[in-house]
Amino acid sequence: FLAGKTAIVTGSTSGIGLGIATAFARAGADIVLNGMGDPKDIADERDNLARNHNVDVIYSNADISKPDQIAQMITLAEEEFGGVDILVNNAGIQHVAPVEEFPVEKWDAIIAINLSGAFHTSRLVVPGMKKKGWGRIINIASAHALVASPYKSAYVAAKHGIAGFTKTIALELAEHNITANAICPGYVMTPLVKKQIPDTAKARGISEEAVVRDVLLAAQSTKRFVEVDELAALAVFLCSDGARSITGAIMPVDGGWTAH
């Protein structure tokens, strides 16, 4: 049902973003992949998506912390596909440290990528969406858009910020048939989470097994990690006609974590 539509998914060379891009391609959308990684792996991902789902896929290496590179990515999408119908702001990084030791450059990078990047992509795609009279903006926030955890000050600040940004643009765009929503995953076992297990163990002075059991899954009542395909299914639904009245929603997919 997304044939003829174009979706940009930032940070789609790995993890949740790649899962969402794949689900959109399966539904028929042309895709702009974006993110870091080995050029050979990215070329393979791009070829697989295009071949398996018979859609057009282009890649932009835009660094989402750089507004000028974001502008180039949006221009590329408009030139190749004639516009952007679906925007998923998914690129994100994490750093775990006590606030008094938090590296200033990590704070700045997390705010730039996890929060400001979504402002820049959104402000640049909205004029085209308004012209078409249709659009979907989906921000991949986090359970950390709703609750905090210690040692993640920059991430929690950025994710709470993205929730506020989502609600604000939802109000501004509602009459244009453009929805804006935030999906708030609990823990998903992607490279982003794998990388923070040793740091969390160090910050809390506990073993890596204890981090998984007593920190990551402590509040996730299902006691299992959320799977990428669950998030992709919700993203696809949000693009459907049945979801046209869902806007400004901050939607937890977190195994009950934020119900506590």
Query: Tokens 């004029």 label which residue?
Result: 127
User: How does 78-93 read in b/e, with b if 16+ C-beta sit within 10 Å?
Assistant: eeebebbbbbbbbbbb
Under rule CB under 6 A, residue 255 binds ligand NAD: no
DSSP 8-state class, residue 52: H
Is residue 45 close enough to count as binding ligand NAD by CB under 6 A? no
Q: Using the rule CB under 6 A, which residue among 185, 217, 219, 235 binds ligand NAD?
A: 185
Q: Least distance in Å: CB of 4 to ligand NAD? A: 26
Q: Rule CB under 6 A: is residue 252 a binding residue for ligand NAD? A: no
- Distance between CA atoms of 258 and 202, rounded to whole angstroms? 25
Of the pair 71, 174, the CB lying nearest ligand NAD is at: 71
- Give min distance, CB of 112 to ligand NAD, in A: 8
Q: Is 155 a catalytic residue?
A: yes
CB atoms within 10 A of CB 118: 31
Residue 87 CA: distances (Å) to CA of 5, 103, 163, 179, 239: 11, 31, 16, 11, 10
**Could you say which residues in the range 196-225 bind ligand NAD, by CB under 6 A?**
none
Evaluate whether 83 touches 75 at the Cβ level (below 8 Å). no
17 interacts with ligand NAD by CB under 6 A: yes
Site string for ligand NAD, 111-130 (x = CB under 6 A): --xx----------------
Give the whole-angstrom CA distance, residue 122 versus residue 202. Answer: 37
Cβ 23 to ligand NAD, closest distance in Å?
Answer: 14
Active-site hit among 59, 151, 155, 187: 155
Q: Helix H segments across 27-96?
A: 39-53, 67-81
Give the residue among 98, 99, 74 at the shortest CA–CA distance from 87.
74
Of positions 58, 87, 88, 90, contacts ligand NAD by CB under 6 A: 90
> Between 4 and 256, whose beta carbon lies closer to ligand NAD?
256
Task: Check: CB of residue 58 under 8 Å from CB of residue 72.
Answer: no
Note whether 29 binds ligand NAD by CB under 6 A.
no
Distance, in Å, from the CA atom of 175 to the CA atom of 169, rounded to the nearest integer, reads 11
* Nearer CB in complex with ligand NAD: 2/118: 118
* Residue 22 contacts ligand NAD per CB under 6 A: no
Window of 28-36, 51-59, 72-80, 167-175 that interacts with ligand NAD by CB under 6 A:
28-36
Contact segment (CB under 6 A) with ligand NAD among 10-18, 50-58, 76-84, 128-136 equals 10-18
- What SS3 class is residue 35? coil
Active-site residue list: 155
Binding site for ligand NAD (CB under 6 A): 10-17, 34-37, 63-65, 90-93, 113-114, 140, 142, 185, 187-188, 190-193
